[in-house]
Amino acid sequence: MSLERRIRAEIEDRIRSGEWRPGHRIPFEHELVARYGCARATVNKALTALSRAGLIERRRRAGSFVAFPHVQSAVLDIPDIRSVITERGDAYRFALLSRAVRPRRAAADEAPLKPVGPMLVLEGLHFAGAAAFCLEQRVIDLAAVPEARTADFSAMPPGSWLLDHVPWTEARHRIGAANADAGQAAHLGIAEGAACLVLERWTWRGGAGVTQARQLFPGPLFDLVATFRPGGA
Amino acid sequence: MSLERRIRAEIEDRIRSGEWRPGHRIPFEHELVARYGCARATVNKALTALSRAGLIERRRRAGSFVAFPHVQSAVLDIPDIRSVITERGDAYRFALLSRAVRPRRAAADEAPLKPVGPMLVLEGLHFAGAAAFCLEQRVIDLAAVPEARTADFSAMPPGSWLLDHVPWTEARHRIGAANADAGQAAHLGIAEGAACLVLERWTWRGGAGVTQARQLFPGPLFDLVATFRPGGA
DNA sequence: TAGTGGTCTAGACCACAGC
DNA sequence: CTGTGGTCTAGACCACTAG
């Protein structure tokens, strides 16, 4: 453990424990330098990291203060489906349901994918053990990824294949809820109309749209992840 | 713009543009020191920041490399409801629907709130203009926040009130989907059974549970936010 | 074993916000 | 003004690891 991490951890503990409440002024850099007997750069690095994490606010001439959690903002970590399943101890499997090549993109929901060329349209199921975990509908721009036309998606999920072949540089996400239609419900083994969590993802590479994925997770509550971020903007 | 930010931005641009593909070795620190004519600490700070952001991976004796987006992980930013609404240009309003004090916590869904004392149970609606935007059901531990017993929640959302009175130090979130029941549907002005996005939040202060909130957003697709994070774990 | 990144030092100058 | 944090320098030693 580096000294910088130790300084950071000790201050973070005092904040999280409530010993230093929001608004409390934490020691000046030169005071911490004296306390730890180190250079100011080391103390500064620790405090800068705490500031980036939103735990403290720093003001010139005034000092550093425990941040007020002004905004109820938080960050949800969306992990990879495969790792979610395997880390729960279940066996992961992907099954392709359908595959088609469409001459061009549909207008509505694929708007972020700019090119108007042939599109590969896939539908598949992610399994956790024997149970369906996620229904995935995916569109791949064949102009951006011509190799996808001959790729074998029968066992390998398209997301993983794409990662290996066309590393993305940018992604956007949308999250929401939708009632499962009859076909989706049958695939997922749930009742028609049951609420599903919907995760949509668009992926670009160097400004060019690569793929769009729409993933349905059967509810009622999908435990994603929890991350902590106080302060915020 | 500091020199460190400039170095970081220039490298980040080359990665995001696709000029430096995943696996590409970026210049050694001493090469960047020569290129920018600065100290190694400055270059190191820039590269360390890129490494933290997941854009590059650093290996001793080998160098720094553009990271492979191994994991399809991403981060969803969950903003404050009020700011979401006002930033869309709508007027924000909160209306309290019900208020009650329950002798102790219910067993099931409030498990993370450890204390078994009296609980304040609130239900309210967040409005965007005239339309219901979010139905909130909240439980406040009166042992942790005794002032809440006499607080006026008729217009001020409990989340904001709590922020002012009991700044939290830790929060956990869960996200999912649920079918609106008859009562919820009526409040939200949607059909019974319509899929809603559900956001659950537990808040602690110094290890003691403070409050639990369950928020229903009418679907179909709630545009939360999109953040980018390549690499990942 | 040689060269990389990880960390730290003991200074320095500056911008800026409180006093 | 004065003192804080923001940034940078020109070194240094060390741990690790790839060759």
Helix, strand, coil shares, percent, chain A, to 5: 25, 35, 40
* Tens of each residue's pLDDT in chain A, 233 residues: 899 999 999 999 998 888 898 899 999 999 999 999 999 999 999 999 999 988 899 999 999 999 887 666 677 777 778 888 888 889 999 999 999 998 876 655 555 666 668 899 999 999 999 999 999 999 999 988 999 999 999 878 998 888 778 767 677 788 889 999 999 999 999 999 999 999 888 888 777 788 999 999 986 655 554 444 443 32
| CA–C1' A110–C1 (A) | 56
Give Cα B103 distance to the centre of its chain: 31
Measure CA of the first residue to CA of the last residue in chain B; give whole Å: 30
- Stated length of chain B: 233
Q: Which of B74, B167, B197 sits opposite A22 (nearest CB)?
A: B167
Q: How many CA atoms lie within 13 A of A145 on its CB side?
A: 30
Identity of the amino acid at B96? L
- Beta carbons of B69 and A163 less than 8 Å apart: yes
Residue B89 approaches strand D within 7 Å at CB: no
Strand D lies under 7 A from the Cβ of residue A61: yes
Model confidence over A181-192: pLDDT tens digits?
999 999 999 999
- Whether nucleic acid strand D comes within 7 Å of the CB of B39, the answer is yes
Question: How far off is chain A from B171, nearest CA to CA, in Å?
Answer: 6
Residue A198 in contact with partner chain B when CB distance is under 8 A: yes
Gap between the Cα atoms of A126 and A133, Å rounded: 5
Q: A76 and B76 in contact by Cβ < 8 A? A: yes
A48 touches strand D (CB under 7 A): yes
A131 interface with B at CB cutoff 8 Å: no
Distance, CA of B39 to C1' of D7, in Å? 12
